[in-house]
Structure 1
Amino acid sequence: MWNIFARDWKSISTNWVAMILIGGLIVLPSLYAWFNIKASWDPYSQTDQLPVAVVNEDAGATVRDKDIDVGNDLVEKLKDNDSFDWKFTDRETAMDKVEYGDYYAAIVIPEEFSENLGTVISDEPQKSNVEYYVNEKINAIAPKITEKGASVLVDQITNEFVSEVNGTVAELFNDLGIELENDLPDIKRFEEYVFKLEENLPEIHDLITGAYDDSQSAASIINDVQGLLPRAEKVTDQGLGTINETTTFLNDAEKRLKEIAPQVESDLKKAQQTAEDVNSFIKDVQSLDLDLEGVTQLKDGINQRTNQALEQLNTVENLLKQVQQQQQQPDAENPENGEGTQNTQPNSEASQQAINQALTSVSTIRERLQTVQNDAGQIEGRLNESQKEIDDTLSTLEQKSGETADRIDAFLKEYNENIEPRVLEEIDQAQQTLSEARSILTEAQSTIPRIQQVLGSTEGNLAEGQDILEYMLNEYPYVNEKVNQMADRIRDIQGETDINDIIELLKNDPEAEQSFFEEPVNLSKNTMFPIENYGTGMTPFYTVLSLWVGALLLVSLLSTEPIHTSEYRSYEQYLGKLATFLSIGVLQTLVVTLGNLFILKIGIAESLYFVLFGMGISMVFMTIVFTLVSVLGDVGKAGAIVFLVLQIAGSGGTYPVALLPEFFQNIHPFLPFSYAVDLLREATGGIVEARVQTDVIRLVAFAALFLSIGVFLKGPLHENSRKLMKKSRESGLFH
């Protein structure tokens, strides 16, 4: 084994061509890693070189008297944005450029963009669309990057819009909170009103029921009143007729009273004169000695004058009775007078009282005259008795005739001063009362049609009110239930929340709220194993890949068999040559790992472990590849290439294993790349000992497996593989 290893390195050191080739094989794999790592160093920082078209067709909109143009605002912001190489153009140019491949993508802001955003305050808000066009055949990664840029653009519009809307909402909430705070006493009173309403609902129901019953009674009363209106109209007409007739009669009575007044005065004066004549006559005869013939003449004289006075008093009495009858005639002839004529009765009673008083006075005077006449008749009878008695009688007659004359004089004065003026005054008052009654009845007569109209309207309104009351009675169970539910809900809310807390929640700083909703969540990134950039993250994969490629280059250019095979046993040949390949592989690893650290200056967390892990991985890979070729020949080379292809896809070096197809997920645990890439990732980002132990154990297991194959199977399989290689060379296509 040592002889084979020593001879190989002696040949390399003494042959400058071999030395150059080996040097190239040592350096070449590192170039594969370095170029790929540098190319993928930080591609996302170069997106400003990707041309993306922006087409603004937004026509703007007016929302609540405020002009908005979101498309134009977006364009102005993109001019200061260096995420992409923005190309502001029209739709036709953008589509042509994207189709040809000059632009990777195009973003079109449609005409109704602002208008649709403005519908957020309407009952049917509509979403705004941003059109995105991409040419995916240009590059596999570029469409994903530009699509991410478009998504970020839409998110930016959305965040700003949401921020603006929520800022407005926050202002409204703040105003609402202030208003609620101001209205808090009213809210408390409203709660009390609800509870009071809940408490009084049964009484309200009773009141509504009573009102409904009363409305039915009122409707019946209105119908009765409407039935009585024609009769009232008739009575009013009759009352006016009666008043007119009474007024005419009073006018006639006044006229007749004025006509008979002089005659009454004349007759009373005559009666007074007669009484005075009787008194004078009695005085004349009182001092005479009367004989029977003289007494008789005296008696006849007294009777004659007394009869004249009585006739005159009868005339006065008849005249007064006529006046009395005229005063009584209106009531006698119109016993059914309406209420409008009742106002005349007090005046009629006063005039009747005056006339009755006059009649009483006349009657008294008549009685006095009749007494005189009777006493005169007694003179003759008493003549024989005594002269003294006659004288007494004459004295009595003189006294009574004097009193009669005085009474007639007093009555005449009373009649002139009181009776006649009072009767005329009462007639005048009755006429005025009748005039007022006529005015009242005339107004009542004109009011009756209005009353009929009002009653008809009231009947209609009452019917409508009955419908409303009936509706309220029908709806009462629902209202009762809802009011109780509201009261219960208020009690629940009072038990669960405090309105003061709600007010404090609504009151806020609108600007702070707007800033919050513009970015409600801040991503606080805490990197446990920080990786500087994409290139650093891809370093483990490209380093592992270069080590496998380096092993493939070695087995492709260097012989896996010693020059003198007959001198060595098969396992000695295998192990001796493997040592040479392993030593060159270690050199390859030193170049690529140290180059990563000092040429590319990749930020490696554990540099020493990165180099050591790389050397160990190179040994494992070289063992696997060398064993395949050493045992299987050209078939082993093909196997190593197939193994490489499967590991690139299934190791999880570029994409997470969870995102790979099921086949690659199934073979992932059986691929050396899986553990090699993971081991270098530990050194790059930070070591977790448990993972390092797992990865090292698995890689050592792979190395031990292939080392066992090489030691134990090279001899039995070598002869067959040599025959196969010889046969392939005979084709002239293989070396």
Structure 2
Amino acid sequence: MKNSWKIFSTDMKKTGTNWIALVIIGGLVLLPSLYAWFNIIASWDPYGQLDRMPVGIVNEDQGATVHDEDILVGDELINTLKEDDSMDWHFTDRQTAMERVEYGDYFAVIIIPEDFSEKLATVISDQPEKANVEYYVNEKINAISPKMTDKGASVIVENVSSQFISTVNGVIFDLFNTIGIELENELPDMERFKNYIFEMEERLPEIHDVLTGSLADANHATDIIHNAQELIPDAKRITENGLQTIDDTVAFLNEAENRLNELAPEIQKNLEHAQEVTANINTFIQDIHTADVDFTNSEQLSEQIDAQAAEAIQQIESIEAILQQLEEQSSPEDENSPNQEEIDAALEQLAALKTELENIQRGSSDLLTFMYESNEEMTHLLDGLKERAATTNESVDTFVKEYKETIEPTVLESVNNAQTTLNEARGILLEIQETIPEIENMLARTNTNLGEGKELLESILSEYPYVNSKITELADRIRQIQGETDIEEIIKLLQNDPEAEKSFFSEPIVLDANKIFPIANYGTGMTPFYTVLAIWVGGLLLISLLSTEVHKPEGFTIREQYFGKLFTFMTIGILQTLIITSGDLLLLQVGAAHPIWLIVFGLFISLVFMVIIYTLVSVFGDIGKATVIVLLVLQIAGSGGTYPVVLLPDFFQMINPFLPFTYAIDLMREAVGGIVWSRALRDMTFLLLFGLAAFILGVFLKQPINKHTRKLIKKSRESGMFH
């Protein structure tokens, strides 16, 4: 170890006494820091400079009309962008914009098409269409710029969408507010409707019974109408027959009245003659009774009485014949008509008179018999004949008087009444006859209506199961809704403040960002990667300019030479790292959470890297230099310094755990963002293992490997191409 320290001291003295060497070493110490600083400052805040990126904007929107109101969403968007400084917006026409984006003056072009407002307006139709925004980007200009302009285009779309959603929801919630007020006003009607549904559900079986009964009644009514229609011809026939019968009866009554008027004088004459005969009989008998009668002429007396009685009977029979003829002509179909009753009474009286006269005839015969046998009995019999004769005479007088005052006027009046009644009946039958066609039409219409009504009832009954199920389903749904929701709460929800709801839907979700390990800017975030890269580049510069071999190796072992030169490389590496990390903090003002630990971790990484780099070159020579360069290339791509490892191709994900950069960058990130000591210790452990592996390689394998590599070095120098 003493000889190793001697080698190191010699190198430091030579450097300090040789200004050329000092300048070169100074350059080697400073150059890596410039590499880190320039890269860090170049990427310090690229996303904060988007306002310098020129983007063309073309507005071709023609607008639209919604409910007689013109809308120009494109113009509103242009006015918004004119106040927006997130990018360098250039407002121009399509042709100019496309020419400039193709040439590279614009990174991108955004075109608002002419149907932009029109398609947005379809939101109120049953088939809304999405509006399109044309976006053109020139990806040839820069690899990152398309991502940045994409972000700008996305922001435009998001702003328009947010504003559109806010506006539409404002209108919707204005409508909801109105609906809520109307619902509140209509709540009693809704309650009544609910009760109607429940009542309908309860009464549906009764309605079904009524419909079934109505259908049965309709069928029965149809049968009745059909029967009535079948009876119409009979009614017509009966009416016609009735009219004919009335006409015949009226004609008969007229004939009877004329006949009565013709017979009345004859009846009067016969009645007067019968009255005269009965009066003569009565006078004759009285004369017999008051005078002295010669009974020797009793036979002649009896004959006179019998002749006169026979004559009276003959007259009565003549009157009976006339009255019977009149009765037959009066009303043969109605035995209870008033004229028949009077005629019958008259005939009964005439029969009684006839009987009395026949009794007188018999009394005269008895008188003749008793005249021969006994005078006293004859006198008694004569008294009887006298009494009968007087009674008969009075009866005849009474009948004649009654006939003149009652029978004849009553018969004539009855005939007139019958004529009047028949004329009225004829008028009624004529009206019936005129009404029959109307009744026939009415029955036909009623039959048609009943048929339609039956079809309607049958249709309703066929739909009854569906209606019943739907009413039941609706009632169950209302009960379910009553159990799950409160209509008053829904009304309160609908009556929310439209402006507040509009504001909510314009930005329904607010990102509450909580940065666990905040990084000030993109440059600070890239500091770990570029610092670690600069430390490795510093080692690469050292092996490019400084020799890993001792100039005069005599008296020094291979191992002593290894350690001696290692101390020199490590010293310069520490100086490089101190400048790099101090410059990050002091010159660039990198916002590290733990600045001291940033320097400490940097020095630790420098020592590990220098051991690896120096050992590879010291052991393998030019091959080692090539290996260091290859490792640099692999570690830049596969360490996850710029992109997350999960986004890298499979090969780089595979080699990532075996690269020192992986753990060195993580360790520096701990110092910049905030230390989680378990991760920091893990990273330092793996780095220590890499350094330990290189150290073992240099201590134990340098001598045997160098025997072979020196031959290769000698051979390469003989070519005159390598030093």
Q: State TM-score, norm by structure 2.
A: 0.84
The alignment partner of 1:32 has SS state of helix
Cross-structure match for 1:523: 511
Give runs of aligned pairs for residues 648-663 of structure 1, distance below 5 A: 648-663=636-651
Cross-structure match for 2:535: 547
Cross-structure match for 2:393: 401
The alignment partner of 1:81 has SS state of coil
Cross-structure match for 2:589: 601
Q: Deviations for 1:199-236, whole angstroms, at most 9, x for unmatched residues? A: x49x95x8888887887777776666555544444444
Cross-structure match for 1:183: 190
Seen in structure 2, the aligned counterparts of structure 1 residues 424 and 666 have a Cα distance that, compared at 3 Å, is same
Q: CA RMSD in A?
A: 4.0
Cross-structure match for 1:461: 452
Q: Deviations for 1:418-439, whole angstroms, at most 9, x for unmatched residues? A: 4432342233223212321332
Query: Could you tell me how far 1:141 is from its partner in structure 2?
Result: 0.9
Separation in structure 2 between the aligned mates of residue 354 and residue 123 of structure 1, nearest angstrom: 98
Cross-structure match for 2:402: 410
> Is 1:621 matched up with 2:615?
no
Cross-structure match for 2:420: 428
Aligned-residue identity in percent? 44
Seen in structure 2, the aligned counterparts of structure 1 residues 567 and 324 have a Cα distance that, compared at 3 Å, is farther
Amino acid paired to 2:545 = L
The alignment partner of 2:55 has SS state of strand
Cross-structure match for 1:321: 324
Q: Deviations for 1:352-376, whole angstroms, at most 9, x for unmatched residues? A: 3344334334434444444455545
> Is 1:678 matched up with 2:666?
yes
Deviates more, 1:12-21 or 1:160-169: 160-169
Gaps of 5+ in 2: none
Kept in 2: contact 1:375–1:397 (CA 8 A)? no
Amino acid paired to 1:363 = A
The alignment partner of 2:291 has SS state of coil
Deviates more, 1:227-236 or 1:77-86: 227-236
> Is 1:353 matched up with 2:341?
yes
Separation in structure 2 between the aligned mates of residue 131 and residue 264 of structure 1, nearest angstrom: 132
> Is 1:144 matched up with 2:147?
yes
Cross-structure match for 2:105: 102
Separation in structure 2 between the aligned mates of residue 594 and residue 270 of structure 1, nearest angstrom: 181
> Is 1:451 matched up with 2:454?
no
> Is 1:4 matched up with 2:7?
yes
Cross-structure match for 2:484: 497
> Is 1:710 matched up with 2:698?
yes
Amino acid paired to 1:183 = M
Kept in 1: contact 2:218–2:450 (CA 8 A)? no
Q: State TM-score, norm by structure 1.
A: 0.83
The alignment partner of 2:661 has SS state of helix
> Is 1:667 matched up with 2:655?
yes
2:82 aligns with one of 76, 79, 88? 79
The alignment partner of 1:564 has SS state of coil
> Is 1:565 matched up with 2:557?
no
The alignment partner of 1:132 has SS state of strand
Query: Could you tell me how far 1:112 is from its partner in structure 2?
Result: 4.0
Cross-structure match for 2:632: 644
Cross-structure match for 1:335: none
Cross-structure match for 1:338: none
Query: Could you tell me how far 1:698 is from its partner in structure 2?
Result: 1.0
Cross-structure match for 1:339: none
Kept in 1: contact 2:55–2:90 (CA 8 A)? yes
Amino acid paired to 2:568 = T
Seen in structure 2, the aligned counterparts of structure 1 residues 490 and 410 have a Cα distance that, compared at 3 Å, is same
Deviates more, 1:167-176 or 1:53-62: 167-176
Q: Deviations for 1:130-188, whole angstroms, at most 9, x for unmatched residues? A: 33222211111111122233334334444455555556666677737756785245335
**How many residues of Structure 1 are paired with residues of Structure 2 in the alignment?**
711
Seen in structure 2, the aligned counterparts of structure 1 residues 218 and 450 have a Cα distance that, compared at 3 Å, is closer
Amino acid paired to 1:26 = V
Amino acid paired to 1:442 = E
Cross-structure match for 2:58: 55
Query: Could you tell me how far 1:647 is from its partner in structure 2?
Result: 0.6
Cross-structure match for 1:341: none
The alignment partner of 2:516 has SS state of coil
Separation in structure 1 between the aligned mates of residue 343 and residue 79 of structure 2, nearest angstrom: 118
Cross-structure match for 2:39: 36
Kept in 2: contact 1:365–1:408 (CA 8 A)? no
Cross-structure match for 1:509: 496
Amino acid paired to 2:443 = I
The alignment partner of 2:331 has SS state of helix
Kept in 1: contact 2:74–2:116 (CA 8 A)? yes
Seen in structure 2, the aligned counterparts of structure 1 residues 439 and 616 have a Cα distance that, compared at 3 Å, is same
1:23 aligns with one of 26, 30, 38? 26
Separation in structure 1 between the aligned mates of residue 151 and residue 112 of structure 2, nearest angstrom: 17
Q: Deviations for 1:578-618, whole angstroms, at most 9, x for unmatched residues? A: 22222222222222222222222222111111111111112
Kept in 2: contact 1:354–1:422 (CA 8 A)? no
Separation in structure 1 between the aligned mates of residue 52 and residue 383 of structure 2, nearest angstrom: 172
Separation in structure 2 between the aligned mates of residue 83 and residue 259 of structure 1, nearest angstrom: 138
Amino acid paired to 2:393 = S
Seen in structure 2, the aligned counterparts of structure 1 residues 430 and 586 have a Cα distance that, compared at 3 Å, is same
Seen in structure 2, the aligned counterparts of structure 1 residues 103 and 366 have a Cα distance that, compared at 3 Å, is farther
Give runs of aligned pairs for residues 586-597 of structure 1, distance below 5 A: 586-597=574-585
Query: Could you tell me how far 1:26 is from its partner in structure 2?
Result: 2.6
Separation in structure 1 between the aligned mates of residue 503 and residue 261 of structure 2, nearest angstrom: 110
Deviates more, 1:300-309 or 1:543-552: 300-309
Separation in structure 1 between the aligned mates of residue 711 and residue 585 of structure 2, nearest angstrom: 46
The alignment partner of 2:140 has SS state of coil
Q: Deviations for 1:79-115, whole angstroms, at most 9, x for unmatched residues? A: 3333333333333333322222222222333444444
Deviates more, 1:519-528 or 1:725-734: 725-734
Separation in structure 2 between the aligned mates of residue 355 and residue 73 of structure 1, nearest angstrom: 120
The alignment partner of 1:522 has SS state of coil
Kept in 1: contact 2:239–2:432 (CA 8 A)? no
Separation in structure 2 between the aligned mates of residue 182 and residue 217 of structure 1, nearest angstrom: 41
Kept in 2: contact 1:368–1:404 (CA 8 A)? no
> Is 1:249 matched up with 2:246?
no
Seen in structure 2, the aligned counterparts of structure 1 residues 671 and 409 have a Cα distance that, compared at 3 Å, is same
Seen in structure 2, the aligned counterparts of structure 1 residues 682 and 230 have a Cα distance that, compared at 3 Å, is same
Seen in structure 2, the aligned counterparts of structure 1 residues 268 and 8 have a Cα distance that, compared at 3 Å, is farther
Seen in structure 2, the aligned counterparts of structure 1 residues 353 and 702 have a Cα distance that, compared at 3 Å, is same
Seen in structure 2, the aligned counterparts of structure 1 residues 290 and 114 have a Cα distance that, compared at 3 Å, is farther
Deviates more, 1:30-39 or 1:534-543: 30-39
Kept in 2: contact 1:267–1:315 (CA 8 A)? yes
